[in-house]
Amino acid sequence: MRGAVIHAPGDVRFETLDDPKILHPTDAVIRTAVTCVCGSDLWPWRGLEPIGGAHPMGHEYVGLVEEVGSEVTAVKPGQFVVEVPGEELWPGLLAVSDVMGTGWWASEAAEVKPGSTAVVVGDGAVGLCAVIAAKEMGAERIIAMSRHESRQKLAREFGATDIVTERGDEGIARIKDLTGGIGADSVLECVGTAEAMQQALRSTRPGGNVGFVGVPHDVAVDGQELFFSHVGLRGGPAPVRRYLPDLIERVMTGRIDPGRVFDLTLPLDQVAEGYRAMDERRAVKALLKP
């Protein structure tokens, strides 16, 4: 088996690995059809998370079932996970396996409701998918915070009604200007930095909610400030499996197309370039083909 292995910050290699084996009766072995680089994997790539020893990277994929354990009943060898009529839907379903589900969780955690105003902090793949989610949940106004023209364009095509390019205090002031000085009903934090969290909390109206799905790095929340803001804060790892049936149907019927976040396609042996391109923001998300 060939795969991506991280050895140190900035050092991801395409290597030969041991073939996977069934270890438990609930296991299944999948032959990957397409995979991708996850934005959360950029943290160890940048040296901002410990790596430990060299280990394989990647957790987003679709492919063919090769072998199953004795207790597996939901799938069988030969099936495509997820089953689809053609390759044109693979990118969308690959997005559903992680970033679309994460964007959906951000919208749910922030309690986006029909007719509400939502702000999305972050214009990576999760942030762009969060725009889709906010629109699907009925937000009347969706403000995307982005400083990159190509991402702004995609955000608008996904449903954003406004774009804010400012950051920090200026960004917060701009959100307040757009919301009559009150702040947004829901803010979806899709980055994970201290600045993004502060921007999210201070852009939310009293009684509003922040959904945070960016993996936190050096994020500290002032308890007293949160207490007096009357802002609700909820987040964590996305329960993607809960959303799969619904999101798969939306992709299959063409209602949503989150696969458009993949703006760079590479062969798997060029996986390191996928990391570099995303780290340098030359790509929103890199799709990898064996």
Mean pLDDT over the full length of the chain: 94
List the CATH number of the domain containing 16: 3.90.180.10
Q: Which of 216, 235, 254 marks a domain boundary?
A: 235
Mark whether 166 and 276 lie in a shared domain.
Answer: no
Beta strand 28-36 with 162-164 is unpaired
**What number is the average pLDDT over the span 210-230?**
94
Residue-level pLDDT at 85? 61
Residue pLDDT, tens place only, 37-57 = 998 889 898 998 899 899 999
Residues 39 and 66 reside in one and the same domain: yes
Residue 82 pLDDT more than 80?
no
133 and 252 share one domain: no
End position of a domain, from candidates 219, 235, 251: 235
The HSE-up count of residue 162 (CA atoms within 13 Å, CB side) is 20
Q: What is the pLDDT of residues 109-156, one digit of tens each?
A: 999 999 999 999 999 999 999 999 999 999 999 999 999 999 999 999
Q: Are residues 149 and 270 in the same domain?
A: no
Q: Same domain, yes or no, for 218 and 134?
A: yes
pLDDT bin (cut points 50, 70, 90) of residue 84 is low
Region 25-47 average pLDDT = 91
Residues 12 and 106 in one domain: no
Residues 178 and 155 in one domain: yes
Bridge partner residues of 62 (DSSP): 34
The Cα–Cα gap between 6 and 65 comes to 26
What is the percentage of the chain residues whose pLDDT exceeds 90?
Answer: 85
114 Cβ contact partners less than 8 Å away, ≥ 6 residues apart: 137, 138, 139, 140
- 228 pLDDT band, cuts 50/70/90, is very high
- Asked if residue 107 and residue 56 are part of one domain, the reply reads no
Contact 14, 272 (CB under 8 A): yes
Mean pLDDT computed over 15-31: 93
pLDDT tens digits, one per residue of 162-217: 999 999 999 999 999 999 999 999 999 999 999 999 999 999 999 999 999 998 89
6, 94: one domain: yes
Helix, strand, coil shares of the chain, percent, nearest 5, are: 35, 25, 35
Winning range, highest mean pLDDT, from 1-5, 88-92, 259-263 = 259-263
Q: Give the domain extent around 245.
A: 2-98+239-289
Total of domains in the chain: 2
Which DSSP category does 138 fall into?
Answer: T
Residues 257, 205 within the same domain: no
Same domain, 118 and 208: yes
Same domain, 164 and 178: yes
CA distances from 152 to 15, 114, 175, 274 (A): 36, 23, 16, 21
CATH number of 160's domain:
3.40.50.720
Q: For residue 43, what are the CA distances in angstroms to 76, 133, 268? A: 35, 25, 20
Q: What is the pLDDT of residue 116?
A: 98
Q: How far apart are CA 288 and CA 290, in angstroms?
A: 7
